[in-house]
Amino acid sequence: NAGVTQTPKFQVLKTGQSMTLQCAQDMNHNSMYWYRQDPGMGLRLIYYSASEGTTDKGEVPNGYNVSRLNKREFSLRLESAAPSQTSVYFCASLRGVMTFFGQGTRLTVV
């Protein structure tokens, strides 16, 4: 999906390190989301932003923070990474019924 760009695609962190996952969309969507997907499981909502300037917690927000920098960008920050945060992270944007996802970030915390 060229419309939602996530960086990086892969990352290995040591326990306790911090990092920010970047997400940007060029479709002028109001709503943006961060999910994590563990092996063989569904997507669990971490945080979402219904519109620029607002953010809300999802199902699994502990250990994460987000920033909706502007309408295009929604970043996810891990302040002190833990092995339990090893997962694939997806960013998504939504307008009406159309949903677009980034290609995912495979994060490993050792």
Q: Which residues bind another protein (CB under 8 A)?
A: 1, 30-31, 33, 35, 41-45, 48, 50, 56, 58-59, 88, 90, 92, 94, 97-101, 103-104
Q: Residue 25 is encoded by which pair of tokens?
A: 């969309």
Closest to another protein by CB, 14 vs 42, is 42
Placement of tokens 């309408």 in the chain: 71
Rounded-to-integer distance, Cα 64 and Cα 13, Å: 15
Closest separation in Å from C-beta 16 to another protein: 28
Rounded-to-integer distance, Cα 71 and Cα 24, Å: 9
Closest separation in Å from C-beta 35 to another protein: 7
